Structure 1
Amino acid sequence: MTFSNYMTQWLYGEQGYYATYRAIGKEGDFYTAVSASKFFGGTIAKHIISLVDEGFLANDATICEIGAHHGYFIADVIEFLYTLRPELLKSFSFVIVERFDALQEQQRNYLNTSFGDAISLSHVKSLSELHVENAFFIANEIFDAFPCELFFKGKTARVEEDGNVEFDVDDEWVSAKAAKYHKDRGEIAVGYEEFASEMASAAKTFEFMSFDYGEMMARPDFSLRVYDKHKVYPFFDEELNRKEAFGSTDITYDVTFEHVKDAYEEAGVTFIELKAQMTALVNMGILELLEMLQKNADEKIYKQELEKVKMLIMPDFLGERFKMIRFRKER
C-alpha cells in the first residue's frame, strides 16, 4: 500500500480520525487557533469587511470554510460580522465544505442553534460542487491534513500489512517533486494541485486565506508525527505503536508552502503573501478588536480574552510557527 493511501485511511477511512467528531483544545489531542480564542475568527471577520469596503468582495459574496470540524470557526466569523457589520449576515451566503455527513449534521445543528434563520447556510462535500461568482475561502490547518508520500534518497515508501514502512518503490511523480523542492528525504503532499484547481473553478473571483504550520521552503528531514492527548510522537519513534495509533490519533506533517504556492499558481490563482500568524493577525486588526472590547466590556472579561489572544500571537506558542498564506483570483 502506498503511504498516501495508508494516511488517507488513518485520517478519513470509516474508522478514521476525522470521520467522527473529535474534541480540540484542552480535552482533545492538540490546540488550534480556533480553540484558543474567538478573536481568531473575529479578525477574519474584520478582514472580510475590509474586502467589502475595498470593493473586492460583493455584499452578496459567498463566505466558505473548508473543513469546519464542529463549526466554531465560521460561527466566530459570523458572530463578529454581526457585531461589526450586521447587515452582511443577510446578504452573504455561508457555505461549509465537509465530506462527512455526520459532521455536516453537527455543524448544521450548532450553527442553527447559534444563529437560526439569521444566516443562509449550505453544505457541499467538495469544492467541485460549488459554482459562485464571488467568494472568500477560509481554512485552518487543512494542508497538513492532506495525505503524503514519504521519500528517502530516491525511493518512495510503501506500508506493509503490519504497519512497517519500506522505502523500495520507484515513483517518478514523487521523485520529481522531491527534486523540485530539494528534498532527499521527507514528505511529499498529494492533492494540492487538484484542490487548487477545484477552488479556481468554484468561484469566478475569490480570496483564499489559510493558516498552517510549516515554512516556505521544505525542511530537510521527516516531520511526520502523531498527536495523542497533547503528546507528540515522531512517526519513526520506537515508542510509537502504529497499530494502536492508527485512526485514533492525529497524524500530520509540516507544510511546504512553496508546494502550495506552485499548485495555486499552476491553477491560475495569484499568490499574495505568506506571513507568520502573529504578523498577519496584527495587520488584520486583532489589537483593534481588543481595544473595542476593553472600551465596552468588564475589565475581567477583557483580561481573560487578552490572555487567550496572546496564545494566538506570541512567538513561543502559535504566533511564529503558524503561517498565513493568501491567494486571489481576479477577473
Structure 2
Amino acid sequence: MLPFSEFMSQSLYGENGYYTDSSKVSKTGDFYTSVSVSKFFGGAIASYILSLLESNALSLPLRIVEIGADKGYLLGDIALFLDALSEVLPQCEFIIIEPLSTLAQAQKAYLGGLKFSCVLDFKIVESFEALSQNKDSSLFIISNELFDSFPCDVLDSGKMLCVSQDLKWDSKWRGIWQNLCAKNLSTLLPRQSLEILDKLKCNPLEFRGLLPQWQDFICNLSRFAKAHKNSHFVSFDYGRENLSQTQNPNAKYYNPLHTSPRFYKSHQVLSLKDFLEQDGDFHTLYQNADITYDVDFTLLDSLLCENGFQKIFCDTQAKVLIEKMQILELLQTFSQQCGYNTYLKEIHKLKTLLHTLGERFLGICYTFSK
C-alpha cells in the first residue's frame, strides 16, 4: 500500500506522469490556467516588477525565476512585456526551475522562438541547487498554481488514506483507510507530514484534513532568496484563507481547512469523497487525471513566515491584478496599438481572468527579510 501522497507524487511526476504531458493544460485539455487565458496575466506581472524597480523595492541587475512553468508561456509573456514597456531587459536574467525533462524541452523550444530587442538566454535548471548565489542581484520569483500540486497526505481522526495496488484479485486499486497509533506513526506517516503535524502542535490521532508536503520546498526557497541582494516572491493559486484559524490565531491546536483532493479529467471534476463512496478504482486515475486541492493560505503563510518571509499582500486574483498590478491600465495602453477588434477580444479574455478565475484564486506576495 502507498500513502496517498506517494500515489499522488508518482501519478503526477513519475515516469510518464500526468504533468509530463504538457498538452493536458489548455482550454481543450483537462483544465486551463490564467496563463493560457490571456497574455496580459504575464503583462500585469511585468508591470508589477517595473513598479517594484521604480520604488527601489527591487534593483538591477534582476533575476526573474519561474517555478512550475509548464510550457514557459508565463515567463515568456513577462519578458515580452518588459521589453515593450521598458529598457531593463539587458539587465535581467530569466530562469525556469523545472525538474521534468519533457517540460524542460517544451519550454526551451517555445522560449527559443521568441523575438526580443536584445539577445536573451532563458536558463532552465532542475532545482535551486543548480543556481549559483548572486549577492549583487535582486530576485523576483513567480509561480502560478504551484502549491495545489504538491503531494499531500489525507488524515481522518486516527486514519490515513492509502492506495492499495494489489492486482491479484479484481485488478482494482482501492483507497484504504489505514489505522494509526502511537507505535506506527513514524513508520506509516511520511516525514514531511510528521514534521508539519509537529509544527502545528496537532495530535496525529485527532487531525482531520490535508497535510501538503510544502516544507522542503519552502526551506529551499528561503535559502535561495537569502543568497540575493533582496527578493520578492509572488504566487497565484486556488484556495482561501483559513478564517477559523485567522480569527483565533492563539488557538492551542491548528484547525485545518476542511477540504479534500479533487481529480480533474477533460474538464470534469470528482471529489475524493465521492470517488471513495463509489468504490472507485485509483488505477483509472493514475497518470490520467490532475490531482489538486484548495490551498490553505493561512497554513502557507505560517510556513513562509517561519522561514524568513514577510507578507506584503494576500488578496483575490482580481484585486491583485487590478489594484496591485494595474492590468486594466496596461490593456488601455496597448489598445492604442493593437486596434479596436483586438482590444475587444482581450477584454473578453480579461473577463475570464478577473471574474471566472478572479474570485476563486488568491494572489500572494512576500519579501524575504534577512
* 1:306 aligned counterpart, secondary structure: helix
Alignment of 1:81-100 (within 5 A): 81-85=82-86, 87-100=87-100
Provide structure 2 residue ranges, at least 5 long, that are not aligned to the other structure.
166-172, 186-193, 243-254
Matched, 1:151 2:155: yes
Q: Deviations over 1:197-238 (max 9, x none)?
A: 111211322100000011121765333111101110112324
Counterpart in the other structure of 1:252: 292
Counterpart in the other structure of 1:23: 24
Counterpart in the other structure of 1:309: 350
Residue identity in the other structure for 2:129: S
Q: Deviations over 1:280-326 (max 9, x none)?
A: 00011001011112222211100000000111111xx1011100011
Q: Deviations over 1:114-165 (max 9, x none)?
A: 1377213212211233333321000000000000000101332222222323
Worse-matched range after superposition: 240-249 or 170-179: 170-179
Matched, 1:211 2:236: yes
1:42–1:80: 8 Å Cα contact kept in structure 2?
yes
2:13–2:100: 8 Å Cα contact kept in structure 1?
no
Q: Relative to structure 1, is the Cα distance of residues 176 and 165 closer, same or farther in structure 2, using a 3 angstrom cutoff?
A: farther
CA distance in 2, matches of 1:106, 1:236: 35
Counterpart in the other structure of 1:12: 13
1:33–1:312: 8 Å Cα contact kept in structure 2?
yes
Counterpart in the other structure of 1:264: 304
Worse-matched range after superposition: 105-114 or 237-246: 237-246
2:208–2:256: 8 Å Cα contact kept in structure 1?
no
CA distance in 1, matches of 2:63, 2:37: 26
Counterpart in the other structure of 2:190: none
Matched, 1:67 2:68: yes
CA distance in 2, matches of 1:236, 1:16: 23
CA drift at 1:184 = 4.4
Alignment of 1:189-204 (within 5 A): 189-190=212-213, 192-203=214-225, 204=228
Q: Relative to structure 1, is the Cα distance of residues 156 and 164 closer, same or farther in structure 2, using a 3 angstrom cutoff?
A: closer
Worse-matched range after superposition: 301-310 or 57-66: 57-66
CA distance in 2, matches of 1:19, 1:297: 35
Q: Relative to structure 1, is the Cα distance of residues 126 and 138 closer, same or farther in structure 2, using a 3 angstrom cutoff?
A: same
Alignment of 1:1-331 (within 5 A): 1-85=2-86, 87-115=87-115, 118-130=119-131, 131-133=133-135, 134-161=138-165, 162-170=173-181, 171=185, 172-173=194-195, 175-176=197-198, 184-190=207-213, 192-203=214-225, 204=228, 205-217=230-242, 220-238=257-275, 240-283=280-323, 284-314=325-355, 317-331=356-370
Q: Which aligned runs of 4 or more in structure 1 are off by greater than 6 angstroms?
A: none
Q: Deviations over 1:64-117 (max 9, x none)?
A: 0001110111111111111101x2221100000000122112111111111377
2:210–2:256: 8 Å Cα contact kept in structure 1?
no
CA distance in 1, matches of 2:55, 2:203: 36
* 1:209 aligned counterpart, secondary structure: strand
* 1:196 aligned counterpart, secondary structure: helix
Residue identity in the other structure for 2:82: L
Worse-matched range after superposition: 231-240 or 284-293: 231-240
* 1:159 aligned counterpart, secondary structure: strand
2:264–2:290: 8 Å Cα contact kept in structure 1?
yes
Residue identity in the other structure for 2:300: V
TM-score computed with the length of structure 2 as normaliser: 0.83
CA drift at 1:169 = 2.9
Residue identity in the other structure for 2:287: G
Task: Indicate the percent of aligned positions where both proteins have the same amino acid.
Answer: 34
CA drift at 1:60 = 1.2
How well do the aligned residues superpose, as a CA RMSD in angstroms?
2.1
1:151–1:178: 8 Å Cα contact kept in structure 2?
no
CA distance in 2, matches of 1:181, 1:225: 25
CA drift at 1:57 = 1.8
1:158–1:169: 8 Å Cα contact kept in structure 2?
no
2:100–2:126: 8 Å Cα contact kept in structure 1?
yes
Question: Which has more radius of gyration?
Answer: 2
1:25–1:32: 8 Å Cα contact kept in structure 2?
yes
CA distance in 1, matches of 2:113, 2:177: 49
Name the count of aligned residue pairs. Answer: 327
Residue identity in the other structure for 2:328: L
* 2:357 aligned counterpart, secondary structure: coil
Provide structure 1 residue ranges, at least 5 long, that are not aligned to the other structure.
none
CA drift at 1:167 = 3.7
CA distance in 1, matches of 2:257, 2:369: 35
